[in-house]
Structure 1
Amino acid sequence: MRKLILLRHAHADAASTGQADLDRPLSSVGLAEAEAAGKWLKEHNLLPDYVLCSPSRRTRETLEAVLQVTGYAEQKLEDAVYEATPGTLSGLIADRSDVGQLMVVGHNPGLEQLVALLADGSTSDYRGMPPSGIAVLELPEEGPIEPGVAKLTAFWWP
């Protein structure tokens, strides 16, 4: 089995007047949450081999804080992760089927819907994913990324 680690960005400041949503930074609470997420990942040996990260400032800052705790991982800023649907995210994950432990750092509602889709086969009955929340799914080594194919093995939030 290979692992998919989905990490929602930590708490961000509200956009200031004229500030684009992409440019919202983490709040001080968010920085602490991201560090806690890194500690949890390290304690559970969930160290990503490769990371796909939304280009938003809050996701990049979340990833940076996590990797300061867990150590370096190869990474790519992926524009498609920002405002992604579960279908878009599934396609990105399928394209990285060679990665043993893939992490995606992104946003809701796409991440929480993806968890429900992969684990339960539906996007209409999802639990939510709080800021800095982590969902860990096991995926088969081979085969398509499709509804119900994964097993949710861990769900954590600060």
Structure 2
Amino acid sequence: MPLTRRLYIVRHAKSSWDDPGLDDHERPLAPRGRHAVELMAEHLRAEAIRPALVLCSSARRTRETLAGLCLEAEAVIEPELYGASALKVLARLRRVAPAAQSVMVIGHNPAMRELVVGLAEAEGKRQRAELAALAAKFPTGAMATLCFDCPWPELRPGQARLTAFVRPRSLPRDSGLS
């Protein structure tokens, strides 16, 4: 029986536009983005989500999102994920080591949204509604969870099941954060 793999697709949290002279690659998280990351980190802990590997764009806002999630995983900063297309991200995922059962990608739209929409098949009414919502808008700080039963090199469009789509604004605000 094939092993089920999990893929967590995360769009970086809300970034700051306060300094118009700052290069896009160097934009930090906004206060709202930092708060969203705290909420998502609490969600990851509560749901025992522990990816074996994290692939993260080299942009400052994605690296700050990664740091705020407090993951105990091997993290690889991937410069090619900055500005990458969904196809380029998929090509990188196909090179993941076979032993990795779960991978998180932290990147940018439109690639994150397009990757999920391309890979996912929705089973059931709730998943179809989530996929439709995600296709319309993949907000900053959100995470889609996909499951599939093939090795990484064989991952193709339509092979994964969307099992969750979590937005920071849908999480409880009273998670004990100050």
TM-score by length of 2: 0.80
How many residues in Structure 1 have an aligned counterpart in Structure 2? 152
Match of 1:73?
73
Give 4+ residue runs of structure 1 displaced > 3 Å after superposition.
Answer: none
SS at match of 1:136: strand
Map residues 29-40 of structure 1 onto 2, 5 A cutoff.
Answer: 29-40=32-43
Q: Is the 8 A contact 2:121 2:162 kept in 1?
A: no
**Is the 8 Å Cα contact of residues 34 and 66 (structure 1) preserved in structure 2?**
yes
CA distance in 1, matches of 2:38, 2:148: 26
Query: Which moved further from structure 2: 54-63 or 125-134?
Result: 125-134
For residue 19 of structure 1, report the CA deviation from its aligned partner. 1.1
Q: Is the 8 A contact 1:11 1:131 kept in 2?
A: yes
* 1:8-157 to 2 correspondences below 5 Å: 8-14=11-17, 16-67=19-70, 71-98=71-98, 99-120=100-121, 126-142=135-151, 144-157=154-167
CA contact (8 A) 1:3 1:137 kept: yes
Q: CA deviation at 1:126?
A: 2.1
The answer on whether the counterparts of 1:46 and 1:101 sit within 8 Å (CA) in structure 2 is no
The one-letter code matched in structure 1 to 2:139 is P
CA contact (8 A) 1:134 1:157 kept: yes
- For the residue of structure 2 that corresponds to 1:129, the secondary structure is coil
Which has the higher Rg, Structure 1 or Structure 2? 2
Q: CA deviation at 1:120?
A: 4.1
Matched to 2:82, the amino acid is Y
Task: Calculate percent identity across the aligned residue pairs.
Answer: 34
Deviations 1:11-41 (A, max 9, x none): 1101623210000000111111011111111
- Unpaired segments of 5 or more residues in structure 2? 123-133, 169-178
List alignment gaps of at least 5 residues for structure 1.
none
Task: Report if the CA contact (8 A) 1:53-1:76 is conserved.
Answer: yes
Q: Could you say what the CA RMSD is over the residues aligned between the two structures, in angstroms?
A: 1.7
Q: Distance in 1 between matches of 2:93 and 2:162?
A: 16
